Amino acid sequence: MKTSLAALIPLVAVARAGTVLWNGFFNSSFTSATFDQWSWSNQIEPWQWYIHGSAATSKYLDVSADNKNPADTSEAKGVKTTIDGTAFWNGQTMERTEIIPQTKANLGSGHLFYHFSLKTSTTNPPNPNYEHQIAFFESHFTELKFGTLSGASGADNNLRWMIGGVTKWSTQLTPNTWYNFAYDIDFSSGMIGLWQSTGSAALTQVVAPQKGSPSTNSADFHIGVLRLPNGGTSAAAEDYFWSGIYVESGSITTSVAGPNAGAAPPGSSTSAPTTTSAPTTVTPPSSPSTTTTVATTTTVAGPTQTHYGQCGGQGYSGPTVCASPFTCTVVSGIYYSQVSSCIINIYAFRPNNLSHLQCL
């Protein structure tokens, strides 16, 4: 029997800006144990929780008012995700801790904005000698990355935003700084842009929409970190703090206070926001407006997939060519990062439906 988390999570249907299709807000009752209420036989909103190591959930997830952007007043708490030497999922060699939206909403059509804020700390900081894939989709059509990219050498402290494996925006990662993002994704036209700010500042468009290959099944937006093993061996913990995670359509909410500003109960925020309580809304421009930063050393005929990224399979429409020196390889369905729910339903189980190709 399925249960509901409605008493714990206020699901906002219509925001003061666009329409909020889904949110992953944490209220004062939400704890790390709440994640454990989700299972393949009890798929309750708003979060799927299965990509993690073998230890208890509390080792990888911590939900607290201290973990959110103080300027975010739409929720009471934020979540800290941790990877370490135990964070290996299903025998993979990558350290992973990721939460994924659980929703019946369509998060893969029309013009949408995927919002979130991210921070690191001087305690358990990310290791710049490894490639970290952050806030990504299964096909990796857009994502953040930190650290030394696979195939490169030397520590790299850049936090970069990418389309199809090509850097379009980057900055030096500063600990204890909140980086606020909105992926601007038009699934109809195939255009992808980026809105960004730091601290309590309102989002601004930093990369005008560019052509990409956006696709999602509404259940493959990975909030968390996948760390490749390209940096050697280190079991040291790394912490990442997340806040203000939601998806909206229509006009973008640029205020970091969020689409439901002021909804968080008293005392849930560590400090008052410096912006006004009412969200600022901006209608996306119909044509590119600003110069964008593009950092790339290779020109290719089309988008290529990154190491460990999906490159084929049933219903897949993203890049099918792997970046050198990787090749597109068939992998077992139950081991790839977005497990089909038909595994649970024996009557719907068909091994051929789980075919999945990955750059290895």
pLDDT at 300: 35
CATH number for the domain harbouring residue 82: 2.60.120.1160
- Asked if the structure places residue 319 within a domain, the reply is no
pLDDT digits (tens, 9 = 90+) for 65-90: 999 999 999 999 999 999 999 999 99
Is residue 126, in this structure, part of any structural domain at all? yes
Q: Does residue 300 fall inside a structural domain? A: no
Q: Looking at the 3D structure of the chain, how many domains does it have?
A: 1
Q: How far apart are the first and last CA of the chain?
A: 39
Q: What is the pLDDT of residue 311?
A: 75
196 in a domain, yes or no? yes
Domain that holds residue 85: 19-295
Q: In the chain, which residues have pLDDT < 50?
A: 1-15, 266-301, 332-355
Residue 328: its pLDDT value, please?
A: 77
pLDDT at 290: 32
The whole-number pLDDT of residue 312 equals: 74
What pLDDT score was predicted for residue 320?
75
Residue 324 lies in a domain: no
